[in-house]
Structure 1
Amino acid sequence: MDELTRDKVQRRTLWILSISQIFGTIGVGVAPSIGILLAEEVTSNEAWAGLARTASTLGAALLGIPLGNLAARHGRRIALASGWWLAALGGLLLVPAAQFQLVVPLFAGLLMIGSGSAISLQARFAATDLASDDHKGRSLALIVWVGTIGTVLGPNLGIPGRIIGDATGLHIYAGAFLIAGAAMAVAGLLVFVLMRPDPLLVNRSSNQLVASAIPTRQRRGIKRFAVELRLNAPARYAVVSILSAQVVMVAIMTMTPIHVTHHGGSVSLVGVTISLHILGMYALAPVVGYVADRWGYRRSIAVGLAIFVASLLVGGVHPVNMGWIMTSLILLGVGWSFINVSGSALFATVINKQERASVQGGVDALSNLCGATAAFAAGPLMALSSFSALTVVAGIVLLPLVFMTVVAPQRMAVKR
């Protein structure tokens, strides 16, 4: 394929990914706020509320590698569509869970919604399949950025959910998850119908890979991911960056809705707080992508670390002031954006191209597994101590990444 045609396919791919990402992330965005509040209502237990977030992130972790392998075998189109549709089923399952206060459908639905998180992450890597190395950060950041619309709307689905409830008799949360399920189903349909040609298959063809060899490689997908980390220092640094940012962000965000309501905040205040946090995560993504491409991944990650530290200090020092908590959550989102976008772009640049999809699925799965662990631990930790103590623990988690970024950059062999 000539360069002009390749660029045309890349532009078309970015448009399709952008539109589907908006719809899909509306559904994904409902889990961190309404999903947690629903779990607390159904179980009447703060620790179980944390487990609700664990269910969605655990679902993303369990499905990351299978969806990556599906992409490697059949292309991004099939994998992305399948992931969005599975998440849509999860959203629809949460309608009766909310309506009839059912525990098993609650956690099953949230587990399946995790597929949406996994596929949303895969979409950002799909944006880099045909991008040149000096534009990977910007291409990846564009898909992260357009998700702002959906992920800001998602936590506020309680408002239209209440309208649907008034008209139909559905519980407010049931109405919210009904909208979420429909949005993710539309995302899958858009990808399935429109993503032709498939960017990963075009990239594979350009690199003259033998299709018959793919299944054999994918059976070693997990092993290949481990080998990549062991032999590839920049990839290892990128993974540590992604995982550190995910653990800190999820741990704090998971418990913020409960913390806010326990200090007199309303459901509406929770929605606004999480929306501002998510806005911080995604709104500046194009700027972050440009900075990463222009000034280098390590420097961009260092900026994210500084913002993370500021966020934790603000939240730890002013835990009961809702204005400061909002500020802390906004900074948390911006710090995550710098580290995650830069780390992901670095990873997409330095990994073995022949193992691209399955290895990317591996890092997404590991990221979500770490996020699930953080969410699981955050509930009991805050119940036994305080929100301030949670920020201290989050700061400790960042220390290895600080060392790799500031003290030993040469060992990481990151040239950009």
Structure 2
Amino acid sequence: MYSGGDQQRDKVRRIDVQRRTLTVVVFSQILGGAGLAAGVTVGALLAQEMLDSASLAGLPIALFTLGSALAAFSVGRVSQRWGRRVGLGIGFTAGGLGAIGVVAAAVEDHVPLLFFALFIYGAGTATNLQARYAGTDLAPESRRGTAISIAMVSTTLGAVAGPNLVEPLGDLARSLGIPPLAGPFLLAAAAYLAAGAILFIFLRPDPFLLARELAEIEAADAAAEQSAEQSAEQAAAEPAAATGPSPAPKPETGAYIGATVMVLTQVAMVAIMTMTPIHMLTHGHGLSSVGLVIGLHVGAMWLPSLVTGILVDRFGRIPMSVVAAVILLSAGLVGAVAPGDSLELLVLALILLGVGWNVGLIAGTALVVDATIPENRPRTQGGIDVLIALAGAGGGAMSGMVMSATSFEHLSLGGGLLALLLIPVLFWARRTRARPIPAHR
């Protein structure tokens, strides 16, 4: 059992475990990126093929995003009790089983099974996002943005490779007697299961459990030091015990602001991204072009992370959240004016969309991490990720209906304008004072 007492040893221990944690998270995120890219790239197309309806093509995004909401809550609760290793390992395993279910549904042309499997598959998406928190448990406050970035940028390799393997995986699926559009889910199943195994086996010691233990030691030392000072000053006239416990502070505004940043960012990104493949196919683009655009978009979601994290640590969480809103607005404007047959402008719009999401997610995540303490961190983070997932589900479900009723151009412009709601919220946030969220007693 690890014990305190030597501050220098505590510091060395924290650094060593943080380095090991980031290494394990990097490998798991590479695999996780490949898993999540399958649903993003061909989920809507597979549903359109099986349902024979474009208006319901947003359902896959909605379903696995709803599944990710349940998973985010569950992973957060499990991590709070048993640590990141168990919570993340279970989450990725569930996502892999869901991907297998999608393949089975495609083979059997069984729509109810497809919907159920997509719901379970969403656990992988939620876990992939929750893994970013594992990199921050032992990171100093001044390096939390960078730690989030390292976890996220690792997703890039798998996330970019996944969409560009649509055609080869389709050929592989066809050779196995599986519908081609289900091919990427074969990759997702293997990737998610492998990611879960890596975390469960190698994420030792658990970064959250160690962070909680160190926090308890520091709190005990601080209490002992305070007690000694009170004794030395002989403050018997107003004994602390007579006053009772201090009232719990109100939840820190930073957690709410971070949640708002990530929710609005998620809705704007998911709504536009979900309908882009269908918009492209309608205007004569092939699957290889769809894979290119989505691959570049997903790359833009993750690849800028190292730079983004440094900027968030350097310039602050709220200023970078404003930057995210501006970039998302730019993405919506480009998507709205781009001709349907212009591959170049669609690439630009989706790259901007990915970068805006990246900046918003890292800035919002840093706000949440700053606002939490080990006693409530995974539980609070899981709850916030539920809101993010539900927002994404709503954006995915409504995107098909909005596009059918109006056009992709209106959908794109609406998503960009939605992001501007961040700016008044963030200006209000600058006037508030940050206070830590109390642990539930």
Scaled by the length of structure 2, the TM-score of the pair is: 0.86
Q: Contact 1:30–1:156 (CA<8 Å) still a contact in 2?
A: no
Which of 321, 325, 337 is the matching residue for 1:305?
325
- 1:110 corresponds, among 112, 118, 124, to 118
> What is the letter of the counterpart of residue 141 of structure 2?
D
Q: Which residue of 2 aligns with 1:140?
A: 148
> Which residue of 2 is the match for residue 283 of structure 1?
303
Select 1:357's aligned residue among 365, 378, 383: 378
- The aligned residue for residue 403 of structure 1 is 424
Match of 1:216 in 2: none
1:324-343 equivalent positions in 2, closer than 5 A:
324-343=345-364
Task: Please name the residue that 1:347 is paired with.
Answer: 368
- Report matched runs for 1:15-414 at 5 Å: 15-208=23-216, 231-320=251-340, 321-405=342-426, 407-413=427-433
SS state at 2:138 partner = coil
Deviations 1:294-319 (A, max 9, x none): 11111211222221111111111124
Return the match for 1:14 from 22, 41, 49. 22
Shift of 1:18: 0.7
The worse-fitting range, judged by mean Cα deviation, of 169-178 and 237-246 is: 169-178
267-276 or 159-168, which deviates more: 159-168
Distance 1:166 1:99 in 2: 11
Q: Quote the Cα distance in structure 1 between the aligned partners of 2:78 and 2:16.
A: 25
Q: How far, CA to CA, are the matches of 1:414 and 1:289 in structure 2? A: 21
Of 104-113 and 154-163, more deviation after overlay is shown by 154-163
Judged with a 3 Å threshold, the aligned counterparts in structure 2 of structure 1 residues 352 and 208 are, in CA distance, closer, same or farther, namely closer
* Counterpart Cα distance in 1 of 2:360 and 2:257: 11
**Matched residue SS, 2:70:** helix
CA distance in 1, matches of 2:114, 2:413: 31
Shift of 1:60: 0.4
> How far apart, CA to CA, are the structure 1 residues paired with 2:210 and 2:172?
44
**Preserved CA contact (<8 Å) 2:296 2:351:** yes
> Matches of 1:384 and 1:181 in 2, distance apart?
35
Deviation at 1:411, TM superposition (A): 2.4
CA positional deviation for 1:413: 4.0
Q: Which moved more, 1:230-239 or 1:131-140?
A: 230-239
Cα distance in 2 between the residues matched to 1:254 and 1:266: 17
Task: Point out the structure with the larger helix share.
Answer: 1
Residues 32 and 158, structure 2, Cα contact 8 Å, conserved in 1: yes
C-alpha offsets along residues 217-259 of structure 1, whole Å, 9 cap, x if unaligned?
A: xxxxxxxxxx99x732222211111111000000000111111
Distance, in Å, in 2 between the alignment partners of 1:74 and 1:56 is 25
Q: Using the alignment, how far apart are the partners of 1:413 and 1:322 within structure 2? A: 46
Gaps of 5+ in 2: 5-9, 218-247, 436-441
Q: How many Å separate the matches in 2 of 1:126 and 1:78? A: 12
Q: Percent sequence identity over matched residues?
A: 36
Q: What letter is aligned with 1:26?
A: A
SS at match of 1:47: coil
Question: In 1, Cα distance between the equivalents of 2:54 and 2:176?
Answer: 30
Do 1:56 and 1:112's aligned partners in 2 also have CA atoms closer than 8 Å?
yes
Tell me the CA shift for residue 109 of structure 1. Answer: 1.5
Following the alignment from structure 2 to structure 1, what is the Cα–Cα distance between the partners of residues 400 and 434?
36
Q: Tell me the residue number matched to 2:241.
A: none
Secondary structure of 2:128 counterpart: helix
Q: Which AA in structure 2 matches 1:289?
A: G
Contact 1:319/1:388 (CA < 8 Å) preserved in 2? no
**Contact 2:275–2:400 at 8 Å: present in 1 too?**
yes
Q: What are the superposed Cα offsets for residues 264-301 of structure 1, whole Å, 9 maximum, x if unpaired?
A: 11111111111111111111100000001011111211
What amino acid sits opposite 2:21 in the alignment? T
Letter in 2 for 1:55: L
Contact preservation (8 Å) 1:319, 1:387: no
User: Does the CA contact (< 8 Å) of 2:336 and 2:413 recur in 1?
Assistant: yes
Distance across 2 between alignment mates of 1:412 and 1:56: 36
Superposition RMSD in Å = 1.9
The amino acid across from 1:290 in the alignment is I
CA separation of 1:163 and 1:392: change in aligned 2, threshold 3 A: closer
Q: Distance in 1 between matches of 2:408 and 2:97?
A: 34
Q: Distance in 2 between matches of 1:8 and 1:139?
A: 14
What code does the residue aligned with 1:384 have?
A
Distance 1:414 1:355, change over 3 A: closer
Assess if the C-alpha contact under 8 Å between 2:333 and 2:416 holds in 1: no
Q: Deviations over 1:43-75 (max 9, x none)?
A: 011122101110111100122111100001111
CA offset at residue 412 of structure 1? 4.0
- Worse-matched range after superposition: 240-249 or 316-325: 316-325
The one-letter code matched in structure 1 to 2:154 is V
Matched residue type, 2:276: T
Q: Distance in 1 between matches of 2:321 and 2:413?
A: 20
Partner of 1:221: none
Name the SS for the 1:39 alignment partner: helix
Partner of 2:240: none
Give the CA deviation at 1:409: 4.5
1:224 alignment counterpart: none
Code of the aligned partner of 1:174: A
Amino acid corresponding to residue 395 of structure 2 in structure 1? A
Partner SS, residue 58 of structure 2: helix
Q: 2:37·2:163 contact (CA, 8 Å) conserved in 1? A: yes
